[in-house]
Amino acid sequence: MTFEEAVNYIESIPKFTKKTTLDNTRYLLKLLEFEESQFQIFHVAGTNGKGSVCAYLSSIVKETGKKVGLFTSPHLIDIKERVRIDGEIVDEKLFTEAFHNIYDRSKQMVKEGYSHPAYFEFLFGIAIYIFIKEEVEVMILETGLGGRLDATNVIKKPAVTVITAISLDHTEILGDTIEQISYEKAGIIKENVPVIYWAEDKRVKEVIEKTAKEKQVLLYPIYKENYKILEIKNKSIDFCVLCGYYENRIFSLPFCAKYQVANAMLAIRAIDIWKKEEKIRYSVIQNGLEQVKWKGRMEEILPNVYVDGAHNEAGIRAFIEAAAEMKEIEHKKKYLLFSVVKEKEYTNMVKLLCEGMKIDGVILTEIDSGRKVSAEILAQEFFKNGQKKVEICKDENAAFQKGIEYKGKEGMLFCVGSLYLVGSIEAIVTKLEN
């Protein structure tokens, strides 16, 4: 199969297979002759920020001189985004080669009485094949959904476990309370493997501490009091670490969103624990942070045009806070391009947006998915919350052009909500630039 045919096959997997067991994934890795002990592995779970934490970890590890493989989800534009070597997306030739290997292993599994790998499991297999072939030394693995039953949880003993901020999301699968969701995320905790986690929520803290006690694990909590934001610039943030080996050191991030500091702190602490015997130099950490690239997180894609994958309530709160810190926002008109999937608490998300920031106009569109929420339903919610200027434009390209038109030279456009929307906007801008 060609690369395009391979992608089409992968995207068709949900149509003929269901979520599989970890035993299924273990057998797939056995067929790949995966030897976990040959790699140092960071395993990352959480609700918000786990992709960013993985990106920070990958960039810093690269700066230490180690060859690093990064597996994340979802992708925004290109399925290859999920697998990176030293921060670079793998090429089509290598991805297609890996696909054929996993495709053959899948047929073998079915013949032997196992299930065909599920969508995420298949992609995880592709990543592992590539990491083995490319002889990476370190793997950064992001969970797809939850943690306890996630395909990546076949890893028996990672070097470090990281759990980012946890909030209500995917409640139909993970549970409808913070405690239940925390239990699922904490499922990646392994005996005697140190855990770095965001500890601001007491409910989360209690669940993780209970799990850690059962697994005899050392915990390294991160709180807001462990850092101080010094300056927020147009495209960067300076902050000071107030704990650990790097106390009072100043770091800079190439992002303007405050929430990225918490993500960076988790990564810094994880690196610190990983290399506690030899302490990583400050310059290595700083260079890693400065060079990280991660799309769709309060990213300025055009002058005064931002995209942010704020796809749940916690994400919307973080977006509003980040926007409020932007120096130029008070003096400019603000327009919102919004779309969301039906699994999310979109009524609360809309309420937060309307209460949290002054919006001069809203454009509602629909993602190309069966999971979309109709623009008409979203419009009702915005009207209900006092927004007067609301326009429906179901075609994403037309909606974006409308947003640019409204923004003009002096305004600001925020494209917020589903990562599907963010990916579509990123693709539109890429085409415009080419």
Short-list 220, 304, 296, CA closest to 265: 220
pLDDT of residue 430: 83
Cβ contacts of residue 151 below 8 Å, gap of 6+? 20, 22, 25, 118, 120, 121, 124, 144
Is the CA virtual torsion 185, 187, 188, 194 positive or negative?
positive
Going through 225-371 in order, the beta strands assigned E by DSSP cover: 227-232, 237-241, 250-253, 299-302, 305-308, 334-339, 361-364
Which three-class secondary structure state does DSSP give residue 27?
helix
How many angstroms from the chain centroid is the CA of residue 87?
A: 15
Report the residue count for the chain: 434
Token digits for 120? 């995420």
Write the DSSP string, 11-35.
Answer: HHGGGT-----HHHHHHHHHHTT--
Q: Calculate the alpha carbon distances from 342 to 10, 172, 370, 381, 387 in Å.
A: 23, 11, 9, 14, 21
Token digits for 269? 């602490």
Question: Using only C-alpha atoms, what is the Rg of the chain?
Answer: 21
Short-list 215, 213, 176, 178, CA closest to 198: 178
Per-residue pLDDT of the chain (434 residues; tens, 9 = 90+): 899 999 999 999 987 777 789 999 999 999 999 999 999 999 999 988 999 999 999 999 999 999 999 999 989 889 999 999 999 999 999 999 999 999 999 999 999 999 999 999 999 999 999 999 999 999 999 998 788 899 999 999 999 999 999 876 554 556 568 888 898 899 999 999 999 999 989 999 999 999 999 988 999 999 999 999 998 877 789 999 987 777 778 999 998 788 899 999 999 999 999 987 778 888 999 999 999 988 888 888 898 899 998 888 888 988 898 888 776 666 788 999 999 887 668 889 999 999 998 899 999 998 776 677 889 999 999 999 999 899 999 999 999 999 999 988 889 999 998 888 898 999 998 887 76
Which three-class secondary structure state does DSSP give residue 41?
strand
DSSP label at residue 165: B
Q: Report d(CA 116, CA 425) in Å as an integer.
A: 33
Q: Are 286 and 252 in contact (CB under 8 A)?
A: yes
Q: Are 181 and 145 in contact (CB under 8 A)?
A: no
pLDDT of residue 434: 67
Short-list 92, 107, 95, 48, CA closest to 71: 95
pLDDT of residue 329: 66
Residue type for 365, please? T
Residue type for 60, please? I
Q: Report d(CA 112, CA 118) in Å as an integer.
A: 16
Question: Which element (helix H / strand E) includes 120?
Answer: helix 119-133
Query: In which residue are the tokens 């501490």 written?
Result: 209
How many angstroms from the chain centroid is the CA of residue 290?
A: 18
pLDDT of residue 178: 83
Which three-class secondary structure state does DSSP give residue 204?
helix
Q: Are 193 and 217 in contact (CB under 8 A)?
A: yes
Report whether the peptide linkage leading into residue 14 is cis, meaning its omega lies within 30 degrees of zero.
no
* Domain architecture of the chain: domains with CATH: 3-222 (3.40.1190.10), 299-433 (3.90.190.20)
Q: Are 185 and 150 in contact (CB under 8 A)?
A: no
Q: Report d(CA 272, CA 275) in Å as an integer.
A: 5
Strand 138-142 vs strand 68-71: parallel, antiparallel, or unpaired? parallel
